[in-house]
Structures are given as structure tokens and as C-alpha cells.
Structure 1
Amino acid sequence: MELTLAQHNLFRAVAELSYVIAQADNQFMAEEVQAFKKAIHDELGKHSWLAENRFDILQDIGDLDSAYRSVLFFIKQNRQGLTPELIDKFIRILTRVAEVAGIVDEERELLQRFEHDIRIIYQQNFQKPIA
């Protein structure tokens, strides 16, 4: 299966959000990196390199809330590539990263926020503008 440009971009976005989740508890651990890489290989298969590449080059994302908003904006721009299956894969990847050292409140809140926000973005694909 070939990916669309939107799907390429969405895979990169989930990597950036995984990085945000890993940083949420102020403890970025090697185990979180390993969990992320295993999760994307399991969930994204041969296309996992797109997410892995983005995760590896992230250096300093600054404020986590700003990074989160940036990721959501990027997802909105590429929402035509979203599917329910892809959303579920993204949630599983993020959860696996968060679970490495036990999910702390900040990570749980980010996961819940993301699941809510991405489902709204997906639903917006099917709403027609009011004329």
C-alpha cells in the first residue's frame, strides 16, 4: 500500500506527539525511545521509518503545550489522510510510549486530550461548510 502525502505527514505528526508524551513527565528515558520504535514498527510496519526519522531529529521542542498545538495544526492540515484505523494506531503508539515508566497524570491528560481532539478533527472531514 502506497501512502498519500497526508498520511506521510500524519506519521511524522504522531512521532512529534510521541516525543511530547515522552517529555510530559520531565523524564525522557531510553526505554521510551525503545517503546516508541517498537510501537511504530508494530503499528505502521514498513512505513514506520517516517515516524522514526521525525522522532530522531527532534531536539528542543520548547513548551509542550505549544508543541501539542503545532502537532494538531499539522494534523488538521492533513486530515484527509485520517482513518479510524490510523487514529487507533496513533493512540496505541502514544499509549505505549507513556506506559514505559507508568502513566503519570500529565501523560494521561495529554492522551485523553489527543484522543478527543483527533476524533473531532476526523469528524470535521465529513461536515460540509454552511453556505
Structure 2
Amino acid sequence: MTLAIHSYLVEIIGSLESGDRYLKKRSFASKYLHFHHPELFFIYDSRAKDAMRQFNSIASPEFKKMVKIVPYDQEYAVFAFKCLQLKGNLNSEGIEMNNRELDNLLIEIANERIRVKMAKSHEPIVV
């Protein structure tokens, strides 16, 4: 149901744009829906997507099957399923997180990567 709602909102927002300017509003839709129901919707943006790569979990056969049959925004669906799988993996390690806490974890990982990158770019050049 959450994937259907997200996909519908992306479609509605996208239909407001004209012709070749049509852009998927995946990130905006996830943030808007998360604002109203943080327990149901994960925040999707480039930082969260990049941070998710930190967790190299192997997708289960059930995961792969579910993603293939979802008729909605595939990119958000994959991200949401990865979030759910990560929550399950953490839970099996004794670390319980709600969706909001997982969002915060992903953003903190992304922010740390940005801080490290910025620090490296400001290092003095050794000749």
C-alpha cells in the first residue's frame, strides 16, 4: 500500500510538469509522505541511497521476487525493500530501529562521508 501511495504521488506531481521537463519527484514524494507518516515511509534521496550502499547485504530470493512483481516506482520499491531488509538484519543482531531511526542512520552515514570528503579536499598540497 505504501508503495502504491508513493507511486501515485510521484505520478501526480510529475503530471504537473510539461512535456520534456517531466521529472520523477521520488525524493520529494518520499519526504512529504514521511513527514505525514514517518512510521510508514522511508526518506529517499541521493544521500540515503548512497549510504545504503554501505550495507552490502545479499538480497534474499524473497526480496528479489517481491521487487520484480511490484508494479510501482521500481527504484523507490528497491530502496524501501532494502531498508526493510536492513532493519530485519539489524533486528537479528539485537538492534531494533524504527523507520525514523533508520533514516537518521542513513543520513548520518551520508553526512560523515561528506565531512570526510570535504576534509580531504582541504588538505594542504605537499610538493
TM-score of the pair, normalised by structure 1? 0.24
- Choose 1 or 2 for highest CA Rg: 2
RCO (CA 8 Å, sep 6+): is it higher in 1 or 2?
A: 1
TM-score of the pair, normalised by structure 2? 0.24
Give 1 or 2: higher helix fraction. 1
